[in-house]
């Protein structure tokens, strides 16, 4: 690495922010940061990677960073739907600039979708990332979390994102009776409409589990996915980002979650890389309507 190049890059806040967007915790709680060679030395193809130990970085971490680190070291799939969280940051107030006229027949589109939220502070952080790239996404929310965080759902919708139904508390709908299925979906739709002023048009069955009874219980249009990041399993931001970057193609629907810090931390790299490849980030309904 070149000391002068490092000083030049990190002395400018804008350059520093752009360079430090490819970082991820390691399995033992350390931090791996990757840099383009041109940012930290003589311009050339490829990149540098630096890994710092858990002991080195822990004193530098914010409360949010400590949560990301802890969930990386001790992964769990628990959704923690029962607890109400208090946001540690302001709810974003981004407003959509108008109707999105992106024609997915003419340009490359991808639909990022986020399940199980909203959650604080993860969803608020995610909305800020999306707004920075003028990207839109679809949030498949659980009714219980919508009721706990209506402000986050409202903020997501106001920014031009789509809000979908993901049941009230994430059961396998195929194992419930018809009335229970209907209740899971109708209660959630009501919560979404109360928060946003608009009833959802889409639903994603928990675990992707669906049968004829589930279909018959609602008029909502079901949505599955083309790319599954398995972000709940790996809790590795770099792996999540690489999965999307390497597997997502035109008009694909990508499955992620906004209840864990690590997939949210992967989003800036995903947005930056796919934007450079001329992708447009649209909602599922927009994608369907323009194909």
Closest C-alpha among 153, 79, 71, 150 to residue 116: 79
195: which 2 tokens?
A: 């928060």
Query: If you average pLDDT over residues 140-154, what whole number do you get?
Result: 97
61: which 2 tokens?
A: 């971490």
Provide the pLDDT confidence category of residue 62 given band limits of 50, 70 and 90: confident
73 contacts 234 by C-beta, under 8 angstroms: no
249 contacts 277 by C-beta, under 8 angstroms: no
Residue 165 has pLDDT above 80, yes or no: yes
Chain centroid to Cα 77, Å, comes to 16
Average pLDDT, the chain: 84
Query: If you average pLDDT over residues 32-53, what whole number do you get?
Result: 61
Phi-psi region of 234 (alpha: psi -120 to 50; beta: other; left: phi over 0): alpha
**More confident: 88 or 37:** 37
257 is catalytic: yes
Q: Which among 22, 115, 231, 236 is annotated as catalytic?
A: 115
Q: Give the pairing type, strands 252-257 and 227-228.
A: parallel
User: E strand or H helix at 37, and its extent?
Assistant: helix 37-40
Q: Within 13 Å of residue 148, how many CA atoms lie on the same side as its CB?
A: 22
38: which 2 tokens?
A: 């041109």
Provide the pLDDT confidence category of residue 47 given band limits of 50, 70 and 90: low
Question: What is the number of other CB atoms lying within 10 angstroms of the CB of residue 7?
Answer: 9
**Euclidean distance between CA atoms 156 and 55, whole angstroms:** 37
29 contacts 235 by C-beta, under 8 angstroms: no
Kindly report, residue by residue over 190-224, the tens digit of the pLDDT: 999 999 999 999 999 999 999 999 999 999 999 99
Cα dihedral 279/281/284/285 (nearest 10): -100
Q: In this prediction, what percent of the chain has a pLDDT beyond 70?
A: 73
Closest C-alpha among 138, 137, 151, 136 to residue 191: 151
Query: If you average pLDDT over residues 166-186, what whole number do you get?
Result: 97
228 is catalytic: no
Q: In degrees rounded to 5, what are phi and psi of residue 33?
A: -120, 130
Predicted pLDDT at 238? 96
Map out the domains of the chain with their CATH numbers.
3-60 (no CATH), 108-289 (3.20.20.370)
Note if the pTM is more than 0.85: no
92 contacts 155 by C-beta, under 8 angstroms: yes
Q: How many angstroms separate the Cα of 92 from the Cα of each of 73, 128, 149, 154, 241?
A: 29, 7, 13, 10, 23
Residue 288 has pLDDT above 90, yes or no: yes
Phi-psi region of 191 (alpha: psi -120 to 50; beta: other; left: phi over 0): alpha
Closest C-alpha among 152, 132, 155, 153 to residue 269: 132
Q: Which among 149, 170, 257, 260 is annotated as catalytic?
A: 257
Contacts of 4 (CB under 8 A, 6+ apart): none
Kindly report, residue by residue over 78-120, the tens digit of the pLDDT: 444 333 444 445 566 555 544 478 999 999 999 999 999 999 9
């Amino acid at each position: 690495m070149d000391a002068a190049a490092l000083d030049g890059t990190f002395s400018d806040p804008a350059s520093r922010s752009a360079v430090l967007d490819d970082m991820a915790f390691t399995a033992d709680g350390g931090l791996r940061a990757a840099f383009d060679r041109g940012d930290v030395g003589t311009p050339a193809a490829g990149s540098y990677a630096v890994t710092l130990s858990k002991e080195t970085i822990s004193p530098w971490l914010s409360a949010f960073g400590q949560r990301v680190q802890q969930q990386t070291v001790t992964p769990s799939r628990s959704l923690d739907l029962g607890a109400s969280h208090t946001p540690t940051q302001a709810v974003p107030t981004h407003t959509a600039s108008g109707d999105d006229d992106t024609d997915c027949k003419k340009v490359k589109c991808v639909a990022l979708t986020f399940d199980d939220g909203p959650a604080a502070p993860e969803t608020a952080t995610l909305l800020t990332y999306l707004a920075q790239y003028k990207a839109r996404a679809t949030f498949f929310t659980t009714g219980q979390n919508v009721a706990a965080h209506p402000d986050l759902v409202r903020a997501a919708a106001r920014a031009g994102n789509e809000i979908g139904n993901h049941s009230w508390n994430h059961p396998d709908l195929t194992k419930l009776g018809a009335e229970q299925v209907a209740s899971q979906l109708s209660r959630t739709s009501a919560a979404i409409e109360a928060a946003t002023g608009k009833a959802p048009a889409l639903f994603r069955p928990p675990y992707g589990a669906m049968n004829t009874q589930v279909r018959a219980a609602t008029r909502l249009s079901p949505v599955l996915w083309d790319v599954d990041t398995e972000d709940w399993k790996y809790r590795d931001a770099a792996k999540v980002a690489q999965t999307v970057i390497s597997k997502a193609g035109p008009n694909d629907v990508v499955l992620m979650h906004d209840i864990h810090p690590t997939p949210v931390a992967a989003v800036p790299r995903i947005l930056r890389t796919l934007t450079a490849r001329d992708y447009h980030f649209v909602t599922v309904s927009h994608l369907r309507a323009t194909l």
